[in-house]
Structure 1
Amino acid sequence: MCGLVGIFDTTGRRPVDRDLLSAMNDSLAHRGPDGDDLHLEEGIGLGHRRLSIIDLAGGSQPMFNEDGTVAVIYNGEIYNFQELAQELRERGHRFHSVCDTEVIVHAWEEWGADCVQRFRGMFAFALWDGNSETLFLARDRLGIKPLYYAALPDGRLIFGSEMKALLCDPVLEREFDIQGIEEYFAFGYVPDPRTIYRSVHKLPPAHTLVWQRGKPQPAPQRYWEICFQADNRMKEADACVELRERMSEAVKIRLMADVPLGAFLSGGVDSSSVVSMMAEHSSGPVNTCSIGFDVPDFDEAIYAEQVAKHLNTDHRSRQVAADSFDLIEDMSKFYDEPFADSSAMPTYQVCRLARESVTVALSGDGGDEAFAGYRRYRWHHYEEMVRGTLPGPLRQPVFSLLGRIYPKMDWAPRSFRAKTTFQALARESVEGYFHSVSILSDALRQRLYSPRMQRELQGYHARSVLEDTLKDAPVEHHLDRVQYADMKTYLPGDILTKVDRASMATSLEVRVPLLDHKLLEWAATLPPAFRLRAREGKYLLKKAMEERLPHDILYREKMGFSIPLATWFRGPLREVVRRRLLNGALDQVGLFDMGFIERLLDEHATGISDHSVPIWALLMFESFLSNVHLAAVASRVPARATGT
């Protein structure tokens, strides 16, 4: 895995600041500790940090075509590069390496922007074509690899694998995107293409950006879509066989590496299935690793050990303290913008453990989105069935009334917590799903924001993200809709961002076979009942793996990969958190009602309510302010006029 940076003069051929380009490249040293290089010519500068995985001797970047007029910097793996290289040789192209990077150069020469249609894998790359003075940026279909960019007032475009590289440029504006803050406190991350700063954008998954010098700023263009269309002729037994074959092939092509390779093993269905397929294609035991916690309710290590023994893997496990609070400072520096998924901490810890013995690790990420594994899909399915039986004019007033009068009982078993269910049933479908994925409710966010923040929002609501995503979604069933929504928002914005930054912080490459786009395209043809049946999510995946994995592993209750926030914030971290939130950087930005934050802390500490999620979101925002934003603002200088 690697890191890339670049500076492009979109208006002319002004010299590129070599020192700035070098600083941008050095900021990504963790993504590529094995080598670095810069390439500069009139009006364009490219930088690359390399983590050597394939063709250790000949894969240095930037990489060029035969006459040096086309250059590429690239982060990722193209798993079908050997077949593409052979096809390109037959068309007259000459190769000087045996790595996948060079395929991108020649594929661009042969097919232009359509080259991305032929790539199977994970990638983010920037390609410069000196003949047409064109910069081509591309990101893989699911958003496994990141790419940030910003068009500056002086006519330059800067880009990089992480936002920290862009923040090296003192001209870059550091003004908050207020709508991005609203989205952060709704989702726990800032969804693509927005970032926390108005001036910076993420290139969305499955998009390219083609910018020709001297031309107006282009809009990103989509090159791939996931379409849900059920094949109702499919037989369950046949589907199980085909799923195993497709998963096996997706895993097999991800085993290519010239460095040690292993896998994460949590003991859940997804990672266990991936390791099972790896064992099928490996001549010796698969290297696996997992971490356990010193809090039993959050510890899955026993299940990982059970699967490791069943599959005869070379397993390494380590118990870590659940209160590794010191990692919070590092987390904000890894992510560059507020990121409230607390599982980022154990993800980083398992990546650090894996890196002690391997350079590449396969993970089971994506299985929940592909095969409907989240519990919220089940609840949404039930709610949609009720919505379908009662017309809105009747359903909304009835359930709104029940939601108001029914007592709130967060402490009770879920079957008795009907208030939330009644409130959900009173909403329309998209609004209902938005509330199921929100980390802070509408009411809580409104009370959290200061009057200034509310004014600057001008009525904007984070629900718009899902509304825009689902407006023309190529789906047939309500289960398709929420899976599609998650693939476009939660998967790239949360899951894949979490894994990329945590793994790259340790210089570890993570591959995700369950997000192979050909596998996903097939999975989208599964009838809804093959994905979710009664209370069983991932129904077909579990049935397909019954002959390979223990029954109690496949059908145990889903735990997730989380940490005991509520206990932390009432225990040893109580005073630390209180001091950080009330006496730290939050008050300085004027966006929050500090009195309400104090009330949240008091109610949580006394046990009146569990406010661990909003407290964590605030803590991560404060950490971003203290460790990233304030330093970024201090380094800002006024922009130069265009053309200087």
Structure 2
Amino acid sequence: MCGITGLFDTLGSRPISPELLNRMNESQFHRGPVEGDLHLEPGLGFGHRRLSIIALEAGLQPLFNEDETLALVFNGEIYNFRELRAELQGLGHVFRTPSDSETIVHAYEQWGEDCVQHLRGMFAFAIWDRPNKTLFLARDRLGIKPMHYALLDDGMFAFGSELKSLLCLPNLKREIDPLAVEDYFAYGYVPEPRTIFTSAKKLLPGHTLTLRVGQPMPQSKQFWDVPFTAHAPMSEREMEEELVVRLREAVQSHLIADVPLGAFLSGGVDSSAVVAMMAGVSDKPVNTCAIAFNDPAFDESEYARQVAERYKTNHQAETVDKDDYGLIDTLAALYDEPYADSSAIPTYRVCQLARKRVTVALSGDGGDENFAGYRRHRMTMGEQRVRSMLPLALRKPVFGMLGKVYPKADWAPQMFRAKTTFEALARDLTEGYFHGVSVNNDRVRKQLFSSTFQQRLQGYRAVEVMRGYAANAPTDDPLSMIQYLDMKTYLPGDILTKVDRASMAHALEVRVPLLDHQFVEWVSGLPSSSKLRNGEGKHVFKKALEPYLSEDILYRKKMGFSIPLSAWLRGPLADTMRRAVLNPALIDTGIFNASYLQQIVDEHLAGTKDHAVTLWSVLMFDAFLRKNGAASTPAPAPVAQAA
């Protein structure tokens, strides 16, 4: 696990500033505090910070092949590196180190850009192919590891694990992308491939990027997608049995390490499943950790303790004050761009706890995306059943009109809130799901943004991110479609980003066996009815785990990793929130409707309405601006779907 960065002259062989490259590299010191190094040659510079996990004494990067015609910087882990190494040795390749990193170099030697098809793991890497004057970048299939890049006006190309490495560049324009602002306030994060800045992008998961001297436009190519290819018919029992076999194999493949290894154990289904499988394949007690909250409404630690006792793990739990709200500026520094998922706070704390005992921790992330475990999956499919009774051509004009004319009645009992129902029935599947996941819906964003800023958007709406993916989805099954949208947006943009930055802030590597691509491929081929049944998500997953976990663990109401946000913003964070949301510098950006900001502050503090999510997203946007001193938004070019 590491931090990587680099500079590449697309126009020729201009010298690379060692001082600048070193600043870029050291900005990511937290990702690899063990050691770091630079490599410079005409037209190219690589930087690397290392957190040693495998081959502790032999994995220093940049790493070269035998004749030093190829150079690599790499962030991640390759779980099949031993098998791949044996295959490559059989093809005549000579290895100088026992590290997983070197297998990537020789795989590129053997298969060129198709090397990524042979890698099983989480990775973001760059290879300099000196004979062909080519720079090759790749990011793993699900987006577990990050990769940011920018092509500067002078033809210099820069990349880095985190956006902060690119922000070291004096000639990187810090103009805020208005489309990214619209995306952020809809999703709570900036979805790939955009960043908050017009001048930088994220490499999409499952993609490579190739640049050559004299051909300055990067060429991006997708090498993997979730297949959703149906399996041959199986009985329920066969599905459950094969699921456990594949889950155990995925977990076991993630246990390679030369440093202390453990697992997060929240007491939920996914992390408990991972711990159960670890215990079954480990010859030593598993190290597990959990955080407890001093408020029972937010505390699942008792369920984590039950799993720990069943599997006799070395369990560590610490109690965190539910009013642990002192991390706002810390989070702004970690994420480099606006990020509004408040569960980043407990995630930061559990990573901090885990690092006291282990260097590698397995997590249960990915279970909800694989097996339709979110409440919004159930809600969307309920709406979709009603929608399917009438064609969209009829639903849209009829229910759309009713939704416009019917009064909004949030105060009324649910049965009288027909406006929301009419609006839901007028939408198609993608629009309906977008509405369900939006942290600030279309109506709120229209009030939140100033009229001037809305003109700058030129009609762009954040739903276009999902529409772009839906148009190219490998499935037309409604449940599979919304799972696919999650895997393209929420999973890399929110969940994996949250865990990567929170863990690397503590020099902790987190692995996600439920996102092993072979496991994901197989699960995607299961019928939707096996995942969501009778209003219960994760049906086949829970049935398969009944021999391993108690009914309390499997079938109690999902709690999530939440914090008392509304109470914070009315209590201990009220003054901080008011100052941030009504900050004159924030208003001066021209993005916001000042009167609406004042309104939601007043209503929330008075307790007449709960605007916690909107206020938190504005609060974190203000923290980002204060941290980065970003410029106000320019008028965008005509809107096009991000590539």
TM-score in terms of structure 1 length: 0.96
Partner residue, 2:441: 441
Cα 1:14–1:411 change in 2 (3 A) is same
Asked whether the equivalents of residues 123 and 144 of structure 2 are also in contact (C-alpha less than 8 Å), the reply is yes
Inter-partner Cα distance in structure 2 for 1:305 and 1:406? 50
Inter-partner Cα distance in structure 1 for 2:424 and 2:447? 21
Alignment of 1:450-461 (within 5 A): 450-461=450-461
Cα 1:348–1:412 change in 2 (3 A) is farther
- The C-alpha deviation readout for 1:147-175, integer Å capped at 9, x for no partner, is 00000011100100000000101011111
Inter-partner Cα distance in structure 1 for 2:431 and 2:75? 37
Inter-partner Cα distance in structure 2 for 1:529 and 1:506? 41
- The C-alpha deviation readout for 1:373-398, integer Å capped at 9, x for no partner, is 01111111111111111123443355
Partner residue, 1:585: 585
Alignment of 1:194-209 (within 5 A): 194-209=194-209
Partner residue, 2:138: 138
- The C-alpha deviation readout for 1:476-521, integer Å capped at 9, x for no partner, is 3100100001101110011000000000011000000000100011
- Tell me the CA shift for residue 588 of structure 1: 2.9
- Tell me the CA shift for residue 443 of structure 1: 1.2
Inter-partner Cα distance in structure 1 for 2:349 and 2:419? 38
Asked whether the equivalents of residues 155 and 216 of structure 2 are also in contact (C-alpha less than 8 Å), the reply is no
- One-letter code of the match for 2:366? G
Inter-partner Cα distance in structure 1 for 2:404 and 2:312? 55
Inter-partner Cα distance in structure 2 for 1:584 and 1:316? 45
Partner residue, 1:639: none
Inter-partner Cα distance in structure 2 for 1:474 and 1:608? 45
Asked whether the equivalents of residues 180 and 195 of structure 2 are also in contact (C-alpha less than 8 Å), the reply is yes
Partner residue, 2:636: none
Alignment of 1:5-154 (within 5 A): 5-154=5-154
Moved more, 394-403 or 129-138: 394-403
Moved more, 577-586 or 529-538: 577-586
- Tell me the CA shift for residue 457 of structure 1: 0.6
Partner residue, 1:525: 525
Inter-partner Cα distance in structure 2 for 1:344 and 1:120? 28
Partner residue, 1:228: 228
Inter-partner Cα distance in structure 2 for 1:280 and 1:427? 47
Partner residue, 1:169: 169
Matched residue SS, 1:585:
helix
Matched residue SS, 1:211:
strand
Inter-partner Cα distance in structure 1 for 2:446 and 2:476? 35
- The C-alpha deviation readout for 1:11-57, integer Å capped at 9, x for no partner, is 01011000000000000000000000000011000000000000001
Partner residue, 1:284: 284
- The C-alpha deviation readout for 1:517-539, integer Å capped at 9, x for no partner, is 00011011101111100111000
Cα 1:521–1:137 change in 2 (3 A) is same
RMSD after superposition: 1.6
- One-letter code of the match for 1:474? P
Matched residue SS, 1:389:
coil
- One-letter code of the match for 1:524? S
Partner residue, 1:638: none
Moved more, 23-32 or 404-413: 404-413
Matched residue SS, 2:388:
helix
- The C-alpha deviation readout for 1:548-595, integer Å capped at 9, x for no partner, is 000111001111111111111111211221012213631231211122
Inter-partner Cα distance in structure 2 for 1:585 and 1:121? 44
Cα 1:133–1:442 change in 2 (3 A) is same
Moved more, 289-298 or 40-49: 289-298
1:384 counterpart = 2:400: no
5+ long unaligned stretches in structure 1:
634-644
Asked whether the equivalents of residues 11 and 216 of structure 2 are also in contact (C-alpha less than 8 Å), the reply is no
Partner residue, 1:471: 471
Asked whether the equivalents of residues 267 and 304 of structure 1 are also in contact (C-alpha less than 8 Å), the reply is yes
Matched residue SS, 1:537:
coil
Moved more, 378-387 or 421-430: 421-430
Partner residue, 1:640: none
Inter-partner Cα distance in structure 2 for 1:428 and 1:545? 35
Moved more, 105-114 or 300-309: 300-309
Inter-partner Cα distance in structure 1 for 2:414 and 2:378? 14
1:272 counterpart = 2:272: yes
Asked whether the equivalents of residues 39 and 46 of structure 1 are also in contact (C-alpha less than 8 Å), the reply is yes
- Tell me the CA shift for residue 322 of structure 1: 2.0
Partner residue, 2:482: 482
Cα 1:397–1:130 change in 2 (3 A) is closer
Matched residue SS, 1:503:
helix
Asked whether the equivalents of residues 229 and 476 of structure 1 are also in contact (C-alpha less than 8 Å), the reply is no
Inter-partner Cα distance in structure 2 for 1:488 and 1:506? 27
Inter-partner Cα distance in structure 1 for 2:585 and 2:288? 41
Partner residue, 1:421: 421
Cα 1:286–1:96 change in 2 (3 A) is same
Moved more, 391-400 or 537-546: 391-400
Moved more, 582-591 or 55-64: 582-591
- One-letter code of the match for 1:274? V
Asked whether the equivalents of residues 585 and 625 of structure 1 are also in contact (C-alpha less than 8 Å), the reply is no
- One-letter code of the match for 1:351? C
Asked whether the equivalents of residues 332 and 628 of structure 1 are also in contact (C-alpha less than 8 Å), the reply is no
Alignment of 1:303-318 (within 5 A): 303-318=303-318
- One-letter code of the match for 1:243? L
5+ long unaligned stretches in structure 2:
633-643
Inter-partner Cα distance in structure 1 for 2:407 and 2:267? 38
Asked whether the equivalents of residues 351 and 502 of structure 2 are also in contact (C-alpha less than 8 Å), the reply is yes
Inter-partner Cα distance in structure 1 for 2:211 and 2:401? 54
Partner residue, 1:243: 243
- Tell me the CA shift for residue 403 of structure 1: 4.1
Matched residue SS, 2:125:
strand
Inter-partner Cα distance in structure 1 for 2:397 and 2:302? 48
Inter-partner Cα distance in structure 2 for 1:262 and 1:435? 38
Moved more, 306-315 or 416-425: 416-425
Inter-partner Cα distance in structure 2 for 1:229 and 1:51? 38
Inter-partner Cα distance in structure 1 for 2:83 and 2:372? 33
Matched residue SS, 1:558:
coil
Partner residue, 1:340: 340
Partner residue, 2:504: 504
- The C-alpha deviation readout for 1:250-299, integer Å capped at 9, x for no partner, is 00011110100000011111000000000011112211111122232111
Inter-partner Cα distance in structure 2 for 1:164 and 1:585? 22
Cα 1:411–1:451 change in 2 (3 A) is closer
Asked whether the equivalents of residues 211 and 219 of structure 2 are also in contact (C-alpha less than 8 Å), the reply is no
Partner residue, 1:570: 570
Alignment of 1:326-365 (within 5 A): 326-365=326-365
- One-letter code of the match for 2:68? G
Matched residue SS, 1:220:
strand
Matched residue SS, 1:73:
strand
Cα 1:284–1:540 change in 2 (3 A) is same
Matched residue SS, 1:7:
strand
Inter-partner Cα distance in structure 1 for 2:489 and 2:255? 28
Asked whether the equivalents of residues 585 and 626 of structure 1 are also in contact (C-alpha less than 8 Å), the reply is no
Partner residue, 2:635: none
Q: Stretches of 4+ moved more than 6 A in 1? A: 411-416
- One-letter code of the match for 1:496? L
- Tell me the CA shift for residue 323 of structure 1: 2.1
- One-letter code of the match for 1:629? G
Inter-partner Cα distance in structure 2 for 1:626 and 1:431? 34
Matched residue SS, 2:219:
coil
